[in-house]
Amino acid sequence: MAKNKVGLPPLDWLRVFEAAGRLGGFSAAAREFGLTQAAVSQRIGNLEAWLGRTLFVREARGVSLTVEGESYLPLVQDSLQALERNTEDLFGKSPRELRVAGLSSHIYALVIPRLPSFLELRPKVRVMTDTVARRSSLEEEKTWLQIRYGRGAWAGREAVLIAPEVLTPMAANGVNWGAPLVEQRGERPGWRDWAKVSEMQELPQAHISFDSMGHAIAAARQGMGVVLGSVPLASGHLQSGQLRKLNMPELETRDGYWLTWPEDRARSKRQRSLIEDFLEVLRAPH
């Protein structure tokens, strides 16, 4: 294929090529842009003629990128993203909405108490939350800004620590050590792990067991026993006096609560600034 042009091809052709390469076909690219498949094929053919290179192999079962197409695709993607980002920084309006997803207990304990401070900092921003039922559901959640629990290593995502996980015995007023334990099942260390660290030989019995830290904390608030509670998730109840820490050792863990987002999002200065302000209030002492 002879090279017909030099310089930068038309932006419309590059956008269609990027979509076809990313989505793996002309039909999918046509749906994304509201075009016919023939129109997509024509634009890509024009681009190939301009470059003097074949970017796609056309076969009966579909199309696939050539070696040169595979090399060109990330360059086009980076260039389009940079153009979009810089245009937004120069001419765009400040973001008017912040949408964050997370488990109900994380939204309740980590986000809601900080909202007044955030809205004071960003009075024109509308905050929206999306609740997921299970941590695994976050992988499928469309809301890209998320609060996650773990060690901060999620493929393809940036993560900033909000608070490390610290577990400590806590109970309602009038409930002391020796009362039944409230057990919380899951990946967090439990009472036996705490007993090893604190060198406690015997533990009181546990009559109730939950698979949710939020439920275990709620049971302790109602005087049902002593919970090995998450300090970040129980901070509001500790501050209000609904719960109190017992004078016993704390158990630090390797996990924590993180604000995370995909690496290819939040690249504009305005969006980044909004997230930084949100992080500032999430990490502030409560």
CA max distance for the chain: 86
Q: For residue 94, what pLDDT is reported?
A: 59
C-alpha span between 237 and 225 (Å, rounded): 15
Task: Specify whether 86 is located in the same domain as 219.
Answer: no
Spell out the per-residue pLDDT of the chain, length 286, in tens.
555 566 789 999 999 999 999 999 999 999 989 999 999 999 999 999 999 999 999 988 889 999 999 999 999 998 988 887 677 656 555 578 899 999 999 999 999 999 999 999 999 999 999 999 887 788 888 899 999 999 999 998 999 999 999 999 999 999 999 999 999 998 899 999 999 999 888 999 999 999 999 999 999 999 999 999 999 999 999 999 999 999 999 999 999 999 999 987 777 788 888 999 999 999 987 6
Task: Specify whether 156 is located in the same domain as 18.
Answer: no
How far CA 262 is from CA of 157, 199, 215, in Å, comes to 4, 42, 30
Q: For residue 89, what pLDDT is reported?
A: 56
Q: What angle do the packed helices 67-91 and 269-282 form, to 10 degrees?
A: 70
Tokens (6 digits) for 123: 């009075």
Task: Specify whether 68 is located in the same domain as 191.
Answer: no
Q: Which of 91, 126, 159 is the last residue of a domain?
A: 91
Task: Specify whether 260 is located in the same domain as 210.
Answer: yes
Q: Which of 31, 65, 91 is the last residue of a domain?
A: 91
SS3 58: strand
**Unique residue bearing structure tokens 């704390």:** 250
C-alpha span between 269 and 276 (Å, rounded): 10
In a domain, 1, yes or no: no
In a domain, 54, yes or no: yes
Structural domain of residue 182, as residue ranges?
98-286
Q: For residue 142, what pLDDT is reported?
A: 87
C-alpha span between 89 and 272 (Å, rounded): 11
In a domain, 4, yes or no: no
Q: For residue 92, what pLDDT is reported?
A: 53
**Unique residue bearing structure tokens 């705490």:** 194
In a domain, 2, yes or no: no
Give φ, ψ of 119 to 5 degrees. -70, -25
In a domain, 157, yes or no: yes
Task: Specify whether 153 is located in the same domain as 268.
Answer: yes
